[in-house]
Amino acid sequence: MANGYGHLMLVKIAYRNIWRNKRRTFFCLAAVGFAVFFIAFYGGFIDGFSRNINEIVQIFDTGHVRVVSAEFEADSEFMPVQFPVADGEDVDSLIARIKTVPGVRAVFPRIETFASLHENVIRHAMLWGLNVEQEMALNNFNLINRDDGLIEGHWPRPGSNDAVIGWSLAQRTGLSVGDFIPLSTVSAQFSDRPWEPRITGIFAFDYMRFDDNHIIVDFERLQRLLVLGGGTQQLVIFADEDRLSPSIAAQVQLLLGEGNLVRDWQDNFWVAIMLAARPLYALVYLIFLVVACLLIINTVVMIIHERIKEIGMMGSLGMSRSEIVTVFFFESVFMSAIGAFVGVIAGGILTAIGQFFPFRWTDMTGGTFAQFPAGDAVFLSFSVASLVQAWLMGVVVASIFTLIPSLKSAFVEPVEALRR
């Protein structure tokens, strides 16, 4: 304490001062509030978008860990079936060995390959062979309704000629439940394999890459059709927890040895892109906040200019330069804290609502990103910790930026100020 003025008294003076010009204070609060609102909302959107991509990559592509042969990986864009995992070893034996690894929850064989459609205006589609009942029991393939995504009919029965197609593919081809799909594909022996499965159901995963061109069939039936013997094109492993995936991948790689490629889901291209872009998102947040801080800086400078005589009086009454600076700095902190709080509340309410009412790409863009691994709908991510972080970021950055103009008050001489 200096000259009898304690910090509590300085805080009281600063708080009273911010309400002396309500219009000016309102604009400062609105600027910081909007910036922090943007940080809270945009952060919830990015977190929700990242979570959406992570779930789609795990469920539809890699699981937590994916196993393929090295030869398959080299030609993966062609989805070859002639390079099975651990060539020569039976699928059941492979799964049994992998399940001995600690943390493994489930292991599923999968086959995904191209098919040519006959007698239809649509010429190409993808065949996806799954152990349907087991996979649907573990994962929610429709991420909006949190169910298996079947909207009509029933899933393929084990060993049958049943097929289920995406709703968009059904519309484009004019096919419906009960129709047959004449098609052909290429086996592991490079022979042309004609097939005419019967449609028993239609699914809607809300993921256009699959809704638009995938036909789901029973794994064992497709395995026989492609002459894979007891082998499989891919194995996807689901862990008890996401964080266990690197350890499981390393152990499975040692278990299966060379010639097989074992990848953690975080190695996926799109997941890596989202992780790498995190610093860019932080930069966008900071830019918005700095722009808002410029208004506060300008306001603090104007306050100092308008209250120049008051500053002189404060000095003549015995307040030291540091105490005068402290008063103006506390005014800036109060405006930052209150504005940031309002912004956090507004952003928190919107992200909380966005958990239940998703944003749809088709509504926002008028189209879809068929090759992008994201569902049509994105739920915002609500997190109290993220909101507190946004509030702290707003207060700290705004306070730091207003410290320099606050220091200007220290260089006002009381006698000179009273003459103005």
User: Per mean pLDDT, which range of 11-15, 93-97, 207-211 is the poorest?
Assistant: 11-15
* pLDDT tens track for 267-311: 888 888 888 877 887 787 778 777 767 766 776 667 666 666 677
Best-predicted range by mean pLDDT (25-29, 248-252, 321-325): 248-252
pLDDT band at 1 (very low <50, low <70, confident <90, very high): very low
Amino acid at 259: G
Amino acid at 419: R
Q: Is 304 or 200 the better-scoring residue by pLDDT?
A: 200
Q: Is the pLDDT of residue 406 over 70?
A: no
What pLDDT does 87 receive? 82
User: Per mean pLDDT, which range of 28-42, 98-112, 194-208 is the poorest?
Assistant: 28-42
Best-predicted range by mean pLDDT (21-35, 186-200, 389-403): 186-200
pLDDT band at 67 (very low <50, low <70, confident <90, very high): very high
User: Per mean pLDDT, which range of 15-24, 96-105, 277-286, 300-309 is the poorest?
Assistant: 300-309
Please, what is the Cα angle at 167 between 164 and 170, to 5 degrees? 75
User: SS3 breakdown of the chain: % helix, strand, coil, rounded to 5?
Assistant: 55, 20, 25
The whole-number average pLDDT for the span 352-364 is 75
What pLDDT does 46 receive? 83
What pLDDT does 18 receive? 75
Contact between 124 and 114 under an 8 Å Cβ cutoff? The reply is: yes
- DSSP helix/strand/coil, 196: coil
Domains of the chain, residue spans:
7-55+277-419, 81-232
Q: How far apart are CA 301 and CA 31, in angstroms?
A: 16
Q: How far apart are CA 351 and CA 345, in angstroms?
A: 10
What pLDDT does 372 receive? 60
What pLDDT does 415 receive? 62
What pLDDT does 288 receive? 72
Instruction: Enumerate the β-bridge partners of residue 185.
Output: 193
pTM exceeding the 0.95 threshold for the entire prediction: no
Q: Which long-range contacts (CB under 8 A, 24 or more apart) does 251-259 make?
A: 251/101, 251/102, 252/65, 252/67, 252/98, 252/101, 255/97, 255/98, 255/101, 256/67, 256/85, 256/86, 256/94, 258/70, 259/69, 259/70, 259/86, 259/87
In percent, the amount of the chain with pLDDT more than 70 equals 87
